[in-house]
Amino acid sequence: MTVPARTGVRAVFVTWNPEPRRLLAAVESLSQQVDGVVIVDNGSVDYEALVALFALDDRVMVVGLGENLGIGAALNTGVGLTLHEDPAWIITMDQDTLVSAGAVAAILQDYSTLPPHRSAKCGVLALRPHPQPASILLTRYAESLMVLHEFDQFTERRGVITSGNLVRADLARQVHFNELMFIDQVDFDFCYASRRQGFVVLQQKNITMDHILGERFADVDKVHPYENAQRFYYVVRNSTYLVLRGRVLARYFVVQIVVIAGAFVSINGIRALSLGSRIIVRGIVDAILGRMGKREYAFLKRGRR
C-alpha cells in the first residue's frame, strides 16, 4: 500500500447513510493527499457495512456515534480525535464530495505565497467547488453577499460550506462547531465564530472540488438545488437563529429562504405553498423560542421525498 507523503493535514469525514460507492470515491480522492482520515458516522443504518468498506485501509479510521447527533457533534468528535495527531491543518469533508488530485498541495502552495500579515490571519482555507446552478438573479446576488475581498489566488468570504475546508489546528482548538443547530448552517456559524477570533476565511479561486448541494431531479424543466421539507425546516430555523445573533446578513437570509422556497414549490407543485409557508413559520418561531437541536414534526414528512 502506498503511504502518502506527510502534508501536515488530516481529514475528517462525516457520514449518515452514505451511498457506498460515492463515499469510497470521496475518501480515495483525498486519502493519498493527507496524513490520515477519520470517518465519524452519525448512526447509519448499515454501520457494519461502512466499517467493512475501509477495514483493509490503515489510512482510515471509522468511528460510530450510534445515533444521529448532528453535523456539529460529529465534526467536533472527529476534530478532537484528529488533534491528538498534532496536524497543522484539518480538512472537513462531506460524504459525497470529491477532491481533485493534488488539490491539497496546490492550495497550501498558494497559501505559502500570501504576504505574512495575511497568511498569519488565515484560519480557514477553502477549496472551491464547481458552482451551483445560478440562473436565478437572486442566487447570484446571494453569492455576492458572501464576498469581502478579492486577492490574486483567493477570495476572502464571510462564510463557506463545511466540505473542503482546511481549518488551522490552533483555530480548531479555540472554536468548536455549534451542536445546537443539528444540521444546516453549521458552516456559516463556524466561519462567523472564526472571524470573531480574528481569523479570516479564504477560498481558493481555482475549482478543485465536486460537491453535491441538495438534491437533483431529472424530470423537471430546470435543475434545482432542492431541499426536502425536513431540511427546509432546518435551513429556516438555523438561518433565523444566526440572523437574530447578527451572524448572517439579513439580506442573505431573505434571499436564501426565497430561493429554497421557490425550489420547494417548483418541485412539489403549487399545492406545496401552504406546506412551505408552514415550514417557514415553524422554523422562525422555533428559533425565536430557542427550540434547537434535532426536531422532527409529522408534517415535515410530506413533500416530494
Question: Domain segments of the chain: what residues?
Answer: 9-210, 229-301
**Band of the pLDDT at 138, cuts 50, 70, 90?**
confident
pLDDT computed for residue 135 by the predictor: 52
Distance in angstroms (rounded) separating the CA atoms of residues 71 and 74: 5
Which three three-digit cell numbers place residue 8? Answer: 501536515
Distance in angstroms (rounded) separating the CA atoms of residues 293 and 291: 7
**Band of the pLDDT at 225, cuts 50, 70, 90?**
low
Mean pLDDT of 38-62: 96
**Band of the pLDDT at 220, cuts 50, 70, 90?**
very low
**Band of the pLDDT at 5, cuts 50, 70, 90?**
low
Q: Do residues 164 and 126 touch, judged by C-beta distance below 8 A? A: yes
Distance in angstroms (rounded) separating the CA atoms of residues 249 and 235: 14
pTM: 0.92
Q: Which position has the higher pLDDT, 190 or 266?
A: 190
**Band of the pLDDT at 263, cuts 50, 70, 90?**
confident
**Band of the pLDDT at 213, cuts 50, 70, 90?**
low
Residue owning grid cell 477570495: 155
Distance in angstroms (rounded) separating the CA atoms of residues 284 and 31: 40
CB count in 10 Å sphere of residue 251: 12
Percent of the chain at pLDDT exceeding 70 = 90
Q: Is the pLDDT of residue 2 over 80?
A: no
pLDDT computed for residue 136 by the predictor: 65
CB count in 10 Å sphere of residue 119: 14
Q: Which one-letter amino acid corresponds to residue 218? A: A
**Band of the pLDDT at 224, cuts 50, 70, 90?**
low
Q: Which one-letter amino acid corresponds to residue 299? A: F
Q: Which of 95, 85, 160, 158 is nearest to 127 (CA)?
A: 160
Q: Is the pLDDT of residue 219 over 80?
A: no
Q: CB under 8 Å to 25, separation ≥6 — which residues?
A: 98
Mean pLDDT of 122-128: 98
CB count in 10 Å sphere of residue 246: 9
Q: Is the pLDDT of residue 7 over 70?
A: yes
pLDDT computed for residue 233 by the predictor: 97
9-210, what's its fold?
Answer: Spore Coat Polysaccharide Biosynthesis Protein SpsA; Chain A (3.90.550)
